[in-house]
Structure 1
Amino acid sequence: MKEQEIRGFQSEVKQLLQLMIHSLYSNKEIFLRELISNASDAADKLRFKALSKSDLYENDGDLKVRISIDKDKKLLSITDNGIGMTRTEVIDNLGTIAQSGTKTFLKSLGKDKAKDSQLIGQFGVGFYSVFIVADQVTVRTRSAGNTTDKGVFWQSYGEGEYTIADIEKIDRGTEIILHLREDQSEFLDTWRLRSIISKYSDHITLPIEIANKNEKNGIITWEKINKSEAIWTRNKKEISDKEYKEFYKNISHDYSDPLIWIHNKVEGKQEYINLLYIPTKAPVDLWNRDNKNGLKLYVHRVFIMDQADQFMPHYLRFIRGVVDCNDLPLNISREVLQDSDLVKNLRISLTKRILQILEKLSKKDIEKYQKFWNEFGLVLKEGIAEDTINKKTISRLLRFSSTYNNNNIQNVSLEDYINRIVNGNQKKIYYITADNYISAKNSPHLELFRKKGIEVLLLSDRIDEWMMNYLPEFEGKSFQSISKIDESLEKLTNEDKEKQIEIDKQLRPFIQRVKNTLGDQVKEVKLTYRLTETPAIVTTDANDMSTQMAKLFSVAGQATPELKYNFELNPEHPLVQKTIKITDDKLFFEWIKILLDQALFIEKGSLDNPNEFIDRMNKLFLS
């Protein structure tokens, strides 16, 4: 061996290795599924590269994976003749974890082993699963097209470091040799290996062969043990749910079963097959900017690329699966995909199909749809702005918390809201946005609506305020934020119009005094009859930026114009009535400022100068 060196694992790898060994021990057989899946990917990549460079086959185009055992030495070997790896690729792939969200994933783990297993499933186990069953792992590999002296040796005991060196390797591809732990001899049994492959990898298009040794003459023969037929090309009536689930786990490296899947063969103007899956759990890197997503693309059953994200809009980035299209050229690139009209049409069709299956699920299996919404609802909301073509369908899939239910579960659809409207004159769908459910639920803006028995949607996700800018109406009813001034809200308060007119007339000097006291601190001062328990609120005009939108801009680091609020006082509240009677200008100012700061604190969740507010309150308590 040449250029031998000992290197340390990336810190995240060390944590993952320990977690893998202890948390997935009950399902240790998955290591074989992962290695075979990697071998299949290596063969797919070689096929694709060889389309333009056929000499990469090196006179051996018979791609396969082979498994052999040595019971005496407790060795299990998995060998493929796929694309192989260079020294740099070995370091990148086996010494570090390049997948997005690793650190977030590791930070989220706790002591609960069941939780650990579930999170690992969302992350994907990959090569490192070998250390569940092996205390020493050796990898010998050579990248296709490289000379035989460019082989790479890699070895590790699954602890803090690994050895890497250059070696001579005649055959291209990768050989992985596992030195099994003392208590893992079950994986040296041929029938045990057959059952695992049948369970997890029967659908792999790459032939999987196992070595049979004749005990009498020592001759080794290779027996193919999988069907090696692309599952998506088969008649779906002949495919069991178990096969569908195992194929999903193979392509997604997910530990959990999928929530639902869609398998279609389309013929006509366009000919393609799609097998698409909706996961049960969101991947841990779903919100990362560099989240890797997209479908596996095949053309005439030939693998073209992973993570082809041109076939799904960004708000459906959680979809996993395969598209096999007969109409695309074998040498198509990502750049060509981006501009292809055929791909754009496919994207429209696949998107429509996904939304249709979700709408069907929302009506036929409410419990299962709720599970989907809990995991992916936030992402789906992005579609309201992204996808104008399907906005109506997406809006029917939205779920919200509301005043109808006394909990924070988002299970109210817009159709539910409209069906519950009692007053035939209600022309709008009312909602409020806030930082969290508790703030929304306890907002003083809701007081009038509780009194009137009008349902209000409680929106507390960060994306909600942004989303509502792209959702002007639903089924002919426009949306109305109850924190903004609107004529329809004023009409709701006119129970005793004559009495209100009289109060307005009597308190006109008081309102003018408040205006003079506050000056340009507020946009307008007025009386309100929307409140029953709160002395004052602040509102914004219909066309002004809302408080929540201003917060979004601030979090994003963008400058926002200064918000000027309307200050609305409840003339029936004892604190306001007390303030009306104050003749001393200085004391009047202190009370008005207290009422304004209270209203601002409720609306914004913070104050520019909280110390001043507390100091003012303390002085008034002592007066």
Structure 2
Amino acid sequence: MAVETKKETLGFETEVKHLLHLMIHSLYSNKEIFLRELISNASDAADKLRFEALSNDRLYEGDSELKIRLEYDKEKRTITVIDNGIGMTREEVQEHIGTIAKSGTRQFFESLTGEQAKDSELIGQFGVGFYSSFIVADKVTLTTRKAGADKSEGVRWESTGEGDYTIESVEKAQRGTEIVLHLKESESEFLDGYRIRSIVRKFSDHISLPIVMDKEIMPSMDKDEEGEEAEKAKAPAPVEEETINRASALWTRARQEISEEDYNEFYKHVAHDFQDPLVHVHSKVEGTNEYTLLLYVPSRAPFDLWDRDAKHGVKLYIRKVFITDDAEQLMPRYLRFIRGIIDASSLPLNVSREILQQSKQISTIKSGAVKKVLGMLEGLASNDPEKYAKFWSEFGTVMKEGPIEDHSNKERIAKLLRFASTHADTDKQDVSLENYVSRMKEGQDKIYYVTADSFSAAKNSPHLEIFRKKGIEVLLLSDRIDEWLVSNLSEFDGKHLQSVAKGDLDLDKLDGEEAKKEQEDVNKEFEPVLKQIKDVLADKVSEVRLSHRLTESPACLVADVYGMSLNMERIMKEAGQSMGMGRKPIFEVNPAHPLVARMKNEQDDSRFADLTHILFDQAILSEGGQLDDPAAFVHKLNGLLQGLLH
């Protein structure tokens, strides 16, 4: 059958060109990783074919011996990586090679610094895979055919890694993908069998697929027949294929046989990451539901951590046969940063996605895997606080989703949470709830916190004034997720979590009888003032009362004990959700503040009203809120200031 050439020259996406330039310059010092990346991709292609062939073994086309073959040619200056995996269609080549089909790309490029050392880490985090070929090659030719397609449906892609690439239809007898790297003049070191073998053994020994090369067999030399043998030696030496990696699934080996370097290299393969992982857990569970897991925490958050559509990082195998890398049933959303594999022995090989979703065995495996991950993090927190602090800086915000999503492990997750607090007054989140409880004042029975849209706003909240005066620690919560966290984590160690900006503070146990009597007297004295303020503000507030939480500020807004916090209302409004169901705030005034004391003796009703509105608007601003009428606020404030000039 004749092949329709249909050759096109197409331009790379801007992001691809940018990435190629950055990668070639930033990763050049670690250029040998190109071979690891190509081998990892070939291994993935074989995994996908093996899974597809479970339901259609004709895809093997009579060749079910999956392997990766490496070749090099000193004269042509080429290295070739060949796999007989799933292969690609023309559309898939354009999707996976001509573009970067990943959300979060823009944020990734915005995060680049221009410093090669830092950018190389970010590029590795992004996962460049195939494009790493251009670190050593000035031209790359990829030829592929999808398993099961006609041999006329082959595709050839070629590029010099600059502005564009060509793509054409070709005839290809064998399924799978062949990648030919035309090496730069400066990269002759890779045209050496020993060098290639050493790279494979360093980076890809754990690949369960055989990686093969031709082994040269030197003919023996008989001194008595030297002339004849010299002639024979000129002829090409006979060759045979040899497997140059161990070709056994790493996770099936005994832990004592696996070095830390082996674990790290397997992580880089399975996660397509360039950096070593932070920590890992390798465990085998035996019994009626038997499975092995090898799970990792990356050193850095993946660039698409906040992409809700991103695939999970845990691959499901059944008896070493890859099944899926989109197994949402294996790990909850709050652990979406976990990478690795789970190999289940007791599931059927022909399991479908629908069966996975309904399988009790999968639910049991997921539950066990989550417990292993939490145990790994607990060990890290106890044994290496410095490393745990690094983990928290990368993944802490995601972990805060845990108590919301995973009620069965809420207490364990709560112990792993870290917060900033007034104990240190820094934005570093290093205070655990156990730390807080251990420092609680005698008679204190609540864990106090404040929420705000920034650390600075939380730290300077007027709600903290009485707590600072009494030396009571308050957690400073400024991540958006914190509002949802505290609504789902109501207590810890029998202690209720209490917002300092909600309800009436119950600090009576920490006050003496004399202080209580003094408060009662002040309340009576200010009753008329509070009524007049309420009349002025009318339906803007639900109540006006004297504040027992302010020591320096004149006024503040407080949410009802069961109401939505003002910070949460603001977040919801920004998200475009109407908060008509929100309750009106309580307005608290500080009787010890000169402005409030002045109001007690103010005879001019108009002046009293202006002062009331100014204090109310100031309270809104101190909460990070926005005024309905900023111009009116400025006008009233200017009037008050002008009065001071006379």
- The question of a shared fold, defined as TM-score above 0.5 by the shorter chain, is answered with yes
1:213 Cα shift? 5.1
State the AA in 1 paired with 2:601.
K
Counterparts of residues 6-155 of structure 1 (less than 5 Å): 6-155=9-158
Unaligned runs of 5+ in 2: 218-232
Q: 1:435-478: per-residue Cα shift (whole Å, max 9, x none)?
A: 11111111111111111111111111001011111111111111
Q: 1:580 to 1:491 in 2, by over 3 A?
A: farther
State the AA in 1 paired with 2:456.
I
1:505 Cα shift? 1.9
Q: Secondary structure at the match of 2:182?
A: strand
Partner of residue 594, structure 1: 614
Counterparts of residues 385-424 of structure 1 (less than 5 Å): 385-423=404-442
Partner of residue 585, structure 2: 565
1:583 Cα shift? 0.9
Task: Identify which range, 468-477 or 508-517, moves more after superposition.
Answer: 508-517
Unaligned runs of 5+ in 1: none
1:491 Cα shift? 5.9
Q: Secondary structure at the match of 1:307?
A: coil
Q: 1:567 to 1:493 in 2, by over 3 A?
A: farther
1:586 Cα shift? 1.0
- How many Å separate the matches in 2 of 1:55 and 1:287? 40
1:530 Cα shift? 2.4
Contact 2:529–2:599 (CA under 8 A) maintained in structure 1: no
Contact 1:100–1:292 (CA under 8 A) maintained in structure 2: no
Residue 264 (1) aligns with residue 267 (2): no
Q: 1:362-407: per-residue Cα shift (whole Å, max 9, x none)?
A: 1111111111111111111111011110001001111011111121
State the AA in 2 paired with 1:535.
P
- How many Å separate the matches in 1 of 2:567 and 2:350? 48
Q: 1:490 to 1:608 in 2, by over 3 A?
A: farther
Contact 1:294–1:310 (CA under 8 A) maintained in structure 2: no
Q: Secondary structure at the match of 2:408?
A: coil
- How many Å separate the matches in 2 of 1:480 and 1:580? 32
Partner of residue 572, structure 2: 553
Contact 1:493–1:530 (CA under 8 A) maintained in structure 2: no
Partner of residue 346, structure 1: 365
Partner of residue 623, structure 2: 603
1:536 Cα shift? 1.0
Partner of residue 502, structure 1: 521
Residue 233 (1) aligns with residue 244 (2): no
State the AA in 1 paired with 2:402.
G
Counterparts of residues 184-583 of structure 1 (less than 5 Å): 184-212=187-215, 216-218=234-236, 219-423=238-442, 425-486=443-504, 488-489=506-507, 496-561=515-580, 562-583=582-603
- How many Å separate the matches in 1 of 2:439 and 2:356? 46
- How many Å separate the matches in 2 of 1:143 and 1:20? 29
Task: Identify which range, 236-245 or 140-149, moves more after superposition.
Answer: 140-149
Q: Secondary structure at the match of 1:362?
A: helix
State the AA in 2 paired with 1:75.
T
State the AA in 2 paired with 1:63.
L
- How many Å separate the matches in 2 of 1:492 and 1:514? 30
Contact 1:272–1:325 (CA under 8 A) maintained in structure 2: yes
1:20 Cα shift? 1.1
1:546 Cα shift? 1.0
Q: Secondary structure at the match of 1:454?
A: coil
Contact 2:312–2:336 (CA under 8 A) maintained in structure 1: yes
1:19 Cα shift? 1.2
1:333 Cα shift? 1.6
1:492 Cα shift? 5.0
- How many Å separate the matches in 1 of 2:547 and 2:504? 12
Contact 2:141–2:157 (CA under 8 A) maintained in structure 1: yes
Q: Secondary structure at the match of 1:405?
A: coil
State the AA in 2 paired with 1:581.
N
Q: Secondary structure at the match of 1:276?
A: strand
1:212 Cα shift? 3.9
- How many Å separate the matches in 2 of 1:195 and 1:258? 22
Q: 1:149-185: per-residue Cα shift (whole Å, max 9, x none)?
A: 1111110010111111111111111110111111111
Q: 1:70-113: per-residue Cα shift (whole Å, max 9, x none)?
A: 11121111111111111111111111112332222122112111
1:555 Cα shift? 2.9
State the AA in 1 paired with 2:589.
L
Q: Secondary structure at the match of 1:351?
A: helix
Contact 1:493–1:529 (CA under 8 A) maintained in structure 2: no
- How many Å separate the matches in 2 of 1:515 and 1:273? 66
1:493 Cα shift? 6.0
| Aligned residues: CA RMSD | 1.5
Q: 1:217-247: per-residue Cα shift (whole Å, max 9, x none)?
A: 2244322110101000000001000000000
Contact 2:503–2:559 (CA under 8 A) maintained in structure 1: yes
Task: Identify which range, 18-27 or 601-610, moves more after superposition.
Answer: 601-610
State the AA in 1 paired with 2:602.
I
- How many Å separate the matches in 1 of 2:538 and 2:49? 74
Task: Identify which range, 441-450 or 4-13, moves more after superposition.
Answer: 4-13
Task: Identify which range, 554-563 or 317-326, moves more after superposition.
Answer: 554-563
- How many Å separate the matches in 1 of 2:511 and 2:452? 23
Contact 2:444–2:509 (CA under 8 A) maintained in structure 1: no
State the AA in 2 paired with 1:462.
R
State the AA in 2 paired with 1:237.
Q
State the AA in 2 paired with 1:242.
E
State the AA in 2 paired with 1:472.
S
Task: Identify which range, 142-151 or 498-507, moves more after superposition.
Answer: 498-507
State the AA in 1 paired with 2:28.
Y
1:260 Cα shift? 0.6
1:563 Cα shift? 4.2
- How many Å separate the matches in 1 of 2:538 and 2:59? 79
Q: Secondary structure at the match of 2:7?
A: strand
Q: 1:500-552: per-residue Cα shift (whole Å, max 9, x none)?
A: 22222222222222122222221111112322111111111111111122123
Q: 1:93 to 1:353 in 2, by over 3 A?
A: same
Residue 612 (1) aligns with residue 615 (2): no
